[in-house]
């Protein structure tokens, strides 16, 4: 992925001598501050359709002046290099006042009011996403695979019923303060639209609530609820939303299990807490266990 980043930078005729890795999860995200660019490379070519969707969404967001990051100007997107696929974005430098959950609440209210684009988007499908990750996970033990598969089978009809019966809006799909940036002007913008889809808007309020319950801390969910104007934990769908979010947070680690024992240990910790029906067990963010990262 580093080689692909350098190749893309060379093609764009920009310097990559100051390139730094911002994040390494399902994407490798490189900042090129001098060039004013961010190059985001999917870990596998199988995610090409997702990268294409994100680029299409970004162009639509720009037309609406939505509170979102912008694609790099005059660059055909997505870009394919070395069997990988990438998108290129405008770099947002670090701000002395990082975005808060209050900013997230305001951004989500605007985001949910954008409507649904005319081009097709997938429906919210946390079960399908989890199953796709399990299908290519040779490193999983049979008991773990069977448990996760049974979890998917149990949740699938409940998720389908919620999607069919609820109001369908544009949802970010992974809404937390880590996917929010503050521009030099002070405006906060959303980023990372891999999971953006159509579904019940309550999905976007669940991430912070579940994150507070699992990662610890107090007040973040309350601040988000106040800023947005709704407390998702009072919604009848909350137990299902929490279950689906926790499934996503566990299944998302499956492709990362080979990156080191710390990730594998945290994966086992999360799975054990669900097996034991222990909602108070604390988790550690995978980003804190992987390569050192910094904010965009």
The domain spans of the chain are 2-90, 101-288
Alpha-carbon span 287 to 210, nearest angstrom: 16
Q: Is 32 helix (H, G, I), strand (E, B) or coil?
A: strand
**Beta strands 79-81 and 84-90: pairing type?**
antiparallel
CATH number of 101-288: 3.90.1200.10
The C-alpha angle with vertex 293 and arms to 19 and 128, in degrees rounded to 5, equals 105
Contact 200, 126 (CB under 8 A): no
Quote the CA–CA distance of 291 and 25 in Å, as a whole number.
Answer: 9
* Range 2-90: architecture per CATH: 2-Layer Sandwich (3.30)
Closest residue by Cα to residue 253 from 270, 239, 240, 241: 270
The three-class DSSP label of residue 35 is: helix
Q: Rg for the chain (alpha carbons), in Å? A: 19
Q: Which residue(s) pair with 21 in the sheet?
A: 30
DSSP-H helix ranges across the chain: 2-11, 48-64, 101-112, 126-135, 142-165, 203-215, 220-228, 238-251, 261-275
Residues 136, 140, 141, 145: is their CA dihedral positive or negative? Answer: negative
Quote the pLDDT of residue 290: 53
Q: Which residues contact 26 (CB under 8 A, 6 or more apart)?
A: 42, 43, 47, 194, 252, 255
- From first to last of its 296 residues, what are the pLDDT tens digits of the chain? 999 999 999 999 999 999 999 988 778 999 999 999 999 999 887 788 999 999 999 999 999 999 999 999 999 999 998 889 999 999 999 999 999 999 999 999 999 999 999 999 999 999 999 998 888 777 889 999 999 999 999 999 999 999 999 789 999 999 999 999 999 999 999 999 999 999 999 999 999 999 999 999 889 999 999 999 999 999 999 999 999 999 999 998 887 787 778 888 999 999 999 999 999 999 998 878 754 443 33
């Amino acid at each position: 992925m580093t080689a692909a980043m350098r190749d893309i930078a060379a093609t764009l005729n920009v310097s990559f001598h100051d390139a730094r890795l911002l994040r390494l999860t399902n994407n490798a995200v490189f900042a090129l501050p001098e060039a004013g660019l961010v190059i985001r490379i999917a870990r596998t070519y199988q995610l090409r359709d997702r990268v294409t969707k994100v680029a299409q969404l970004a162009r639509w967001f720009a037309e609406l002046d939505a509170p979102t990051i912008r694609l790099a100007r005059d660059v055909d997107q997505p870009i394919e290099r070395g069997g990988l696929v990438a998108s290129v974005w405008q770099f947002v430098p670090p701000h002395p006042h990082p975005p808060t959950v209050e900013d997230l609440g305001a951004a989500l209210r605007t985001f949910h009011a954008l409507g649904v684009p005319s081009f097709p988007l997938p429906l919210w499908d946390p079960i399908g996403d989890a199953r796709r990750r399990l299908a290519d996970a040779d490193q999983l033990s049979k008991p773990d695979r069977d448990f996760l598969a049974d979890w998917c089978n149990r949740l699938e009809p409940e998720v389908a019923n919620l999607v069919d019966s609820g109001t369908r809006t544009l949802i970010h799909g992974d809404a937390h303060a880590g996917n929010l940036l503050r521009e030099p002007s002070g405006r906060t913008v959303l980023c990372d639209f891999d999971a953006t889809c159509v579904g019940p808007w309550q999905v976007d309020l669940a991430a912070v609530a579940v994150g507070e319950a699992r990662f610890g801390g107090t007040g973040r969910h309350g601040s988000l609820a106040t800023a947005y104007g709704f407390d998702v934990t009072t919604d009848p769908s909350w137990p299902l939303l929490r279950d689906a979010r926790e499934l996503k947070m566990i299944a998302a680690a499956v492709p990362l299990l080979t990156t080191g024992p710390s990730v594998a240990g945290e994966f086992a910790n999360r799975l054990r807490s669900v097996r034991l029906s222990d909602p108070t067990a604390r988790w550690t963010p995978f980003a804190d266990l992987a390569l050192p990262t910094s904010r965009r």
